[in-house]
Amino acid sequence: MMFIGGAYAPLFYFPLIRQIAKTGTNFPCVFVIMLGMETHVQVSGTELKVRIEKALTEKSLKKLITNLEKELDGEHSFLPHDVEAQIRREITNAGVAVSQHGGWYRCIAAYLLLPKLEELLQVKSMGGEQNIAPIVQKLRNEALRESLSTFGIDVPARYARTSSGTGQTRVRIPREQKQQLVENFLDALPTFEALQDVLCTLPKNTNLMVKQIRTLVKRYLTIANRLQSVAAHE
C-alpha cells in the first residue's frame, strides 16, 4: 500500500478520475492528485478491502463504528438511498465479506471513516478516552464530510462543525429563529422580575425550595440582561 503526503485515499476520492477514465485513456494503477494542500492516492479494490477490514477489526474503533452504524441502519439515516447503493457496489467490488464483518451498515460506517482512518488509529492509541474524545469526534466529522462531499451531499448539521476543546457539535440556526427564541425567552421577564421583588422581601436564611427559586431567578435575569445588551448593540 502506498503512503504519500501523510494520507491514504480510498477509491471514492476520485470521481473525476473515473469520469476521465471513460474516455478510454490508459492510466497507471496508482494516481497521485493534489487536492488543496493534501495528497491522496487511489487504491485498488484489494487495497480498499484491506483498509475497510482494518477499520472493522480494530478494537479501538469498535464503539465509533457501532454508533455510526446505528445512525445508518434506520429510517432516519442521513445517507440517501442512491449513495448507499453506490457505496455497497464499491464494497462488493472490493471483495469485502460483508456477512463476516457485521453486515452492510457496519461496513458502510467503516467505509465512511476511511479518509481519517490512520489519524483515528493514531489518536486512539494514545489512550485516555475522555481526553481524546474531542479529537476523535473532530476526525470523525472530517471523515464524514470528505466522504459525503465526494457524492455531492452535505454532512448532517450535527457533524458540520466541532467546537474546539469540548468536542460538542455546533449547529447554526437561521437568524430569524434565533431572534424568535430570544423574544420568547424574554417574554417571561416580567414574571421573573416580580419574583425577584418578592424574594427581596424574604429573609436570606430560608428553606431549600426558596433558595432554589432564588438561584433560578438570578440565573434567568443574568441571561436576560446579557441578551438585551447584545440586542442593543446589534
Q: What single string gives the DSSP state of each residue in 123-188?
A: HHTT--HHHHHHHHHHHHHHHHHHHHHHTT-PPPGGGT-B-TTT-PBP----HHHHHHHHHHHHTT
75 found inside a domain: yes
Same domain, 145 and 180: no
26 found inside a domain: yes
Buried b / exposed e over 108-122, threshold 16 CB at 10 Å, is bbbbbbbbbbbbbee
Highest mean pLDDT among 3-7, 109-113, 158-162: 109-113
Same domain, 136 and 193: no
Same domain, 34 and 148: yes
Mapped onto helix, strand or coil, the DSSP state of residue 39 is: strand
28 found inside a domain: yes
pLDDT at position 194 over 90: yes
Place of cell 433558595: 211
Q: How confident is the model at residue 62 (pLDDT cuts 50, 70, 90)?
A: very high
Q: Report the pLDDT averaged over residues 28-51.
A: 52
Better-predicted residue by pLDDT, 106 or 232: 106
pLDDT at position 117 over 90: yes
How much is the pTM?
0.53
Q: How far is CA 93 from CA 24, 51, 55, 120, in A?
A: 21, 14, 18, 25
Same domain, 209 and 101: no
Same domain, 180 and 133: no
Please give the DSSP secondary-structure letter assigned to residue 112: H
Helix H or strand E encompassing 80: none
pLDDT at position 104 over 90: yes
pLDDT at position 28 over 60: no
Lowest mean pLDDT segment, chosen from 45-59, 99-113, 158-172:
158-172
Domain count across the chain = 2
Domain limit, last residue, from 104, 133, 159: 159
Query: Which pLDDT value is given to residue 77?
Result: 84
pLDDT at position 147 over 60: yes
pLDDT at position 228 over 60: yes
Same domain, 18 and 121: yes
Helix H or strand E encompassing 119: helix 117-124
Same domain, 182 and 139: no
Query: Which pLDDT value is given to residue 87?
Result: 93
Same domain, 199 and 150: no
Same domain, 85 and 154: yes
pLDDT at position 3 over 50: no
Same domain, 180 and 129: no
Q: Which residues contact 33 (CB under 8 A, 6 or more apart)?
A: 14, 17, 39, 40, 42
Contact assessment for residue 147 and residue 90, using Cβ atoms and an 8 Å cutoff: no
Q: Which domain holds residue 207?
A: 175-233
pLDDT at position 142 over 60: yes
Same domain, 18 and 72: yes
Q: pLDDT tens digits for 10-27?
A: 444 444 344 434 444 443
Q: Report the pLDDT averaged over residues 163-183.
A: 66
Same domain, 52 and 114: yes
